[in-house]
Amino acid sequence: MAGEGIERVMQYLAKLPGLGPRSARRAALHLLKRREALMLPLADALREAAENIQACGVCGNLDTIEPCEVCRDHRRDDTRICVVEDVADLWALERAAAFNGRYHVLGGLLSALDGVAPEDLNIEPLLVRAGEPEVTEVILAMDATVDGQTTAHYISDRLAGRDVEITRLARGVPVGGELDYLDDGTLAQAMKARRSG
Amino acid sequence: MEWNDEGIVLSARRHGEGSAVVVLMTREHGRHAGLARGATSARSRAMLQPGNSVEAVWRARLAEHLGNWALEPLEGAAAELMDDPLKLAGLTSACAITDKALPEREPHPRVHAGLMALLSAMRNEDLGDLWVAAYVRWELGLLADLGFGLDLETCASTGATEDLVYVSPRSARAVSAQAGEPYHGKLLTLPRFLSKRGGGEPADMLDGLILTGHFLESHVFGAHGQPVPEPRQRFVERCRTQIPA
């Protein structure tokens, strides 16, 4: 139906998260109709990103500069490192403006199903960073899943004996959450972690 | 094709944008996989953690198809065990062993019942670390259900029923202290909680894990050229460091 070049664009677009063949077709048509205003700038931006963006050698964040903006920022608190699974989690915490310390991206979680072992993750550099004299707290901000918590326990073990406090994110009722709609596990966790006041 | 059953989530592997291939240990249909749509929603992700119990409906046009799950949560063991590293390691080990050792779609109601009992023991905080003994018993039950049952009642050499302290790694039968003395270094230790002597120290639980680990490796996984799943190795390591000697 469409020419070979357009088909190729559609095939690549269909590989993106959230896009199936039908929406990829719509996106390809949209781009072709806005060739100058959208398609060429997008192609340039993609090429530039592919050529310049790299994982930060310190924390694992993605940026065009080495070390990344977050690691260069002198206003940040050097005493705390927040350990996250993925860059998307780092971005989520930055969006929330809830943390002003340093980050460390693991690049995944220990998973028996996917065959991810400790040596496949960015754990050794974390141990080195946690050993620096200014670091006093390591925050394990992993998913509240079996894999997430298995990874957190593993890192906690590896950090044991060092002079740093190891903390974790709280689990419980989300903001705007109604008790009636919460799953049993979350409710049990919230009850266990209840606080006075 | 359609049936209802109760199951324990063993694994959930993401499939496409919003679905997952979920493997359950069901009561009547054994280890069974199926596609769960909408598995990436917050509610489903919480439900699909290994160890959680679900009410499952499986539907497919033909029996040999992968089929689709409709799942409803029953009990959430995973969330309760997450904070305890030893219990979490035991949970992931039990789920990984069930997932890897059992053939698909072959009913093993005793393994399912044993896994339910094990999860119950793990959630019982009054038991302390004694649930590890329940874990060892569950692995023995799994071995027996797969046809590799251990005979821990009589001595393989003398037929004695008392003073059994060893297990032969070859015959999988108990050996008495007297008969086993010359081969002490080659025999496995029979933990007290598995013998008539009863009771047992924390070290016995580790001996139990070494005992079942040997037969899982040689009879179940080694026979297929596979290693024992890594979560079990991590569980044993954690027992070594965490359970007081």
Structure confidence at residue B190 as a pLDDT band (50, 70, 90):
very high
Pairing of strands A137-140, A165-168: parallel
Q: What is the pTM of this model?
A: 0.87
Q: Is the pLDDT of residue B128 over 90?
A: no
CA distance A8 to chain B (A): 21
Is the Cβ pair B230, A117 closer than 8 Å? yes
| Class of A4-52 in CATH | mainly alpha
ipTM value for the complex: 0.86
DSSP states of A5-38: HHHHHHHHHHTSTT--HHHHHHHHHHHHHTIIII
User: In chain A, which residues have their Cβ closer than 8 Å to the Cβ of B87?
Assistant: none
Q: Which residues on chain A are in Cβ contact (under 8 Å) with B85? A: 153, 156-157
Give the other-Cβ count within 10 Å of B102's Cβ: 21
How far does B53 lie from chain A, in Å, by closest CA? Answer: 12
Using H for helix, E for strand and C for coil, what is the string for chain B? CEEEEEEEEEEEEEECCCEEEEEEEECCCEEEEEEECCCCCHHHHHHCCCCCEEEEEEECCCCCCCCEEEEEEEECHHHHHCCCHHHHHHHHHHHHHHHHHCCECCCCHHHHHHHHHHHHHHHCHHHHHHHHHHHHHHHHHHHHHCCCCCECCCCCCCCCCCCEEEECCCCCEEEEHHHHHHHCCCCEECCHHHCCCCCCCHHHHHHHHHHHHHHHHHHHHHHHCCCCCHHHHHHHHHHHHHCCC
- Which band of pLDDT confidence, cut at 50, 70 and 90, is reported for residue B58? very high
- Asked if residues B155 and B179 have their Cβ atoms less than 8 Å apart, the reply is yes
Contact call for B50 and A146, based on CB within 8 A = yes
Contacts of A144 in chain B (CB under 8 A): 79, 82
Residue type, A139: I
> Is B231 within 8 Å of A185 when comparing Cβ atoms?
no
Q: What pLDDT shows up at residue B199?
A: 67
CATH 3.40.1360.10 region(s) of chain A? 62-168
Predicted pLDDT at B26 = 98
Of the partner residues A20, A112, A185, the one whose CB lies closest to the CB of residue B76: A185
Chain B residues lying within 8 Å of A17, measured CB to CB: 17
Cα-based angle A53, A54, A60 (whole degrees, multiple of 5): 130
User: Considering CB atoms only, which of A20, A146, A154 is closest to B78?
Assistant: A146
Helix then strand then coil, in percent of chain A rounded to 5, is 45, 15, 40
Distance spanning both ends of chain A, measured CA to CA? 66
Residue among B79, B88, B229 whose CB faces A112 most closely: B229
pLDDT of amino acid A125 = 95
What Cα–Cα distance (Å) separates residue A150 from each residue in A116, A117, A143, B88, B89? 12, 11, 10, 7, 7
State residue A1's pLDDT score: 61
Instruction: Determine contact, residues B10/B23, Cβ cutoff 8 Å.
Output: yes
Contact B85 A157 (CB under 8 A): yes
Contacts of A149 in chain B (CB under 8 A): 82-83, 88
C-alpha B24/C-alpha B47 separation (Å) is 12
d(CA B239, nearest CA chain A) in Å: 13
Chain A window 164-193: which residues touch B at a Cβ cutoff of 8 Å? Answer: 183-186, 188-189
Per-residue pLDDT of chain A (197 residues; tens, 9 = 90+): 668 889 999 999 999 988 888 999 999 999 999 999 999 999 999 999 999 999 999 999 999 999 999 999 999 999 999 999 999 999 999 999 989 999 999 999 998 778 888 999 999 999 999 999 999 999 999 999 999 999 999 999 999 989 999 999 988 888 888 888 888 778 888 888 888 87
d(CA A2, CA B243): 66
Chain A residue with Cα closest to B100:
A113
- Please tell me whether residue A54 adopts helix, strand or coil conformation: strand
User: Is the predicted pLDDT of residue B200 greater than 70, yes or no?
Assistant: no
Give mean pLDDT, residues B158-184: 91
The answer, yes or no, to whether residue B136 has pLDDT greater than 90, is yes
Domain with CATH 1.10.8.420 in chain A: 4-52
Predicted pLDDT of residue A115: 82
User: What pLDDT is attached to residue B161?
Assistant: 85
What pLDDT shows up at residue A51?
Answer: 95
Q: How far is CA B88 from CA A21, A116, A153, B102, B236, in A?
A: 41, 17, 9, 21, 12
Hey, are the CB atoms on A184 and B230 less than 8 Å from each other?
no
pLDDT at B245: 63
* Average pLDDT, rounded, for chain B: 92
Residues of A in contact with B230 (CB under 8 A): 112, 117
Residue B68: predicted pLDDT: 97
Please report which confidence band the pLDDT of residue B76 belongs to, taking 50, 70 and 90 as the band edges.
Answer: confident
CATH code linked to domain A62-168: 3.40.1360.10
Q: Give the closest of A154, A156, A186 to B46, CB-based.
A: A186
Q: Which of A146, A151, A154 to mutate to test the interface with B (most CBs of B within 10 A)?
A: A146
